[in-house]
Structure 1
Amino acid sequence: MNNLFLDPRTVRDIDKVVDRVHQSLDYTDGAIRLLEVRDLLKLDLKYYRLDDPGLIDEVIHKLKVGAKQVIARPGLLVEAIRKFDLSALFVPDRKRILIDDSIPDLKKRWYETHEIAHSLIPWHADYTLGDDRTTLSQGCHERIEAEANYGGGRLLFPNGVFTQHRLSSTMSLARVREISKHFGNTITSTLWRCVEQSDELTFATIGEHPRRPRDDKPRIEYFVRSKTFATQFANITDTEVWAWMLEYCGYKPTGPLGTIDLNIQDVNGNSHVFVIESFSNGYNTLTMARWTRQTAISVPVGDRRILCP
């Protein structure tokens, strides 16, 4: 799945509500403390497990998808969670965030922030459970989720200080790991933000280990591109990236998997050199590519050929 780019007006509207949260918290630098965010917004956080009968006691009397009521009794929440394969959700009328306690701890911070973003974006109140194929089109559902992802990213990586850290040195997976520790977030969410917010030609993928793929998982789950890359290299797909990974990635289960300098042609047929590197964190393989230079081309002039940059 490719990352979606929001229109400028939507970005401005989300930025405003997120900036107000940072200002209210007197944020300056470092990791955002989600407990303080929840206290500020008067949000409640609960964890659930589908095999825990206490879940029903923690839930609301009604729940909606769009304008459609899908839960008339609290007990139906379990069925809804299973139907939509939910790991987290926000319940607007109870101002409650529910998170599946069985997901890894490192991922809970992102899930919680994603649901906080749903609570912050005013027009999301009726669409917190996603697409039930009747109240929301797939395109609308993807847009709503993209907006929550953007809002969550802006909340965890405040724009001003994050930009300073991102531009302070050449971007690499090692630098992404350093930034992730500074802001207290996962490497995956940090990589996504570093690439999507970049003005440079860069992309990242999140997915399977190329030498150890699982049959029930997509080879590349997310193909994250900067706007400039998405425009100039609209011809490049995640299928091609997967083929490149098979050329240079090693077999070890975790850690750095390999690096390659690769010539990639843009939509105009011009060739560019990218440095591409991959790293496995045990859950996913993270790949990042960064433009280094345009390849010189050979042009015939009479009976000679000259190199042009």
Structure 2
Amino acid sequence: MTTAPPAARDIDDIVDDLLVRAGAVGRFPTPVEEIVAAAGLAEAQDYVLTEEAIAQAPAQLRELLRSSREKILGLVDRRERVIHVSPTITHGGRRSFVKLHEVTHHVLPWQRELVYADDDDSLSPSVRAQFEREANYGAAALLFQGSQFDESIVQLPVRLESIDMLAGLFGASFRATARRYGERHSRAVLIAAFDGGEGGRWQRREVSASPEWRRRFGTPAWPGLMTEDRFPVLAHVRQGSQATVTWRDQNGESAQVRVAGRAGAKWASYLLLTVA
């Protein structure tokens, strides 16, 4: 579960200013290229870690660069003022997030290094490196246009279908939208992503819970490996079904919670909980 970095308010101010300068507020899907340009950057035409480029490097570096290429998603070269995004990222929403992650590195005045390289670990919600947390936070704020996302979610029912709609509206991936949805909703909402499911065993990827959910039920501390015999609610993920179940709050009192599951094939499976 992600938490806002200590510099969140400063980042919000910088992001809001950039969104205004890009003319992005209220435009859907979020005009990522205009935001990149407003930050004084451009996307590089030639990816820096192509095989042709690696072949020009000193021999002792080539294998290191080849192995790194598999992990690196994007980087910003502040000297050349360009963003490089790995050609292996084909999902439009995910490419947008990587670009805006690099934009955030560039526009935060206290991040002075000239080049950043970002891999799957650094783009994960569990990242611990402060600059990476800040870049993730800023990328989400840019992609979801600050308060525009918060205003949109309260107009929709708490459903997985609403997350689908919001992902399309803002031009984001379902994963990024689901994470933002769980973190920002004004109601008691929890959404979790899983892999697996064979034999009723699920690998928990991430959990996002709204402030109201955490106030009432506490911060979720779900284990990495979860089974349906210990967590029967997971059956709704496998079945793609809905139900109302009893959930205990922090005071031991019973609450009626609506559950909706979605089984994924190529992508993750999801479980959405909200107080009935």
The residue aligned with 2:237 is 249
Larger CA deviation: 182-191 vs 266-275 = 266-275
Which residue, 169, 183, 187 being the options, matches 1:200? 187
The residue aligned with 1:54 is 53
The residue aligned with 1:128 is 116
In the aligned structure 2, how far is the partner of 1:19 from the partner of 1:39?
A: 15
Aligned-residue offset at 1:152? 0.9
Aligned-residue offset at 1:235? 5.9
Which residue, 96, 99, 111 being the options, matches 1:112? 99
Which residue, 265, 270, 290 being the options, matches 2:248? 265
The residue aligned with 1:4 is 3
User: Contact conserved, 2:193 with 2:271, CA < 8 A, in 1?
Assistant: yes
Give the length in aligned residue pairs: 260
In the aligned structure 2, how far is the partner of 1:4 from the partner of 1:75?
A: 40
In the aligned structure 2, how far is the partner of 1:191 from the partner of 1:248?
A: 17
User: Contact conserved, 2:36 with 2:100, CA < 8 A, in 1?
Assistant: no
Q: 1:175 to 1:212 in 2, by over 3 A?
A: farther
SS of residue in 2 equivalent to 1:123? coil
- Cα deviation per residue 1:125-168 (whole Å; 9 max; x = unaligned)? 3383479xxxxxx9751x33332222111111113332221111
The yes-or-no answer on 1:87 pairing with 2:73 is yes
Q: 1:230 to 1:147 in 2, by over 3 A?
A: farther
User: Contact conserved, 1:276 with 1:288, CA < 8 A, in 2?
Assistant: yes
RMSD of aligned Cα (Å): 3.3
In the aligned structure 1, how far is the partner of 2:167 from the partner of 2:193?
A: 16
In the aligned structure 1, how far is the partner of 2:54 from the partner of 2:36?
A: 21
* Structure 2 counterparts to residues 273-284 of structure 1, below 5 A: 273-279=256-262, 280=264, 282-284=266-268
Q: TM-score, normalised by structure 1?
A: 0.71
| Structure 2 letter corresponding to 1:121 | L
Q: Which runs of 5+ in 1 are unaligned?
A: 60-72, 132-137, 252-256, 293-309
In the aligned structure 2, how far is the partner of 1:260 from the partner of 1:101?
A: 41
Aligned-residue offset at 1:203? 1.4
The yes-or-no answer on 1:155 pairing with 2:152 is no
SS of residue in 2 equivalent to 1:247? helix
* Structure 2 counterparts to residues 156-305 of structure 1, below 5 A: 156-211=143-198, 219-234=203-218, 236-239=220-223, 243-250=231-238, 257-279=240-262, 280=264, 282-292=266-276
- Cα deviation per residue 1:226-256 (whole Å; 9 max; x = unaligned)? 12323433363233976345322336xxxxx
User: Contact conserved, 2:73 with 2:118, CA < 8 A, in 1?
Assistant: no
Q: Which runs of 5+ in 2 are unaligned?
A: 120-125
| Structure 2 letter corresponding to 1:30 | F
| Structure 2 letter corresponding to 1:166 | I
The residue aligned with 1:103 is 89
The residue aligned with 2:123 is none
Larger CA deviation: 78-87 vs 148-157 = 78-87
- Name the larger-Rg structure: 1
SS of residue in 1 equivalent to 2:35? helix
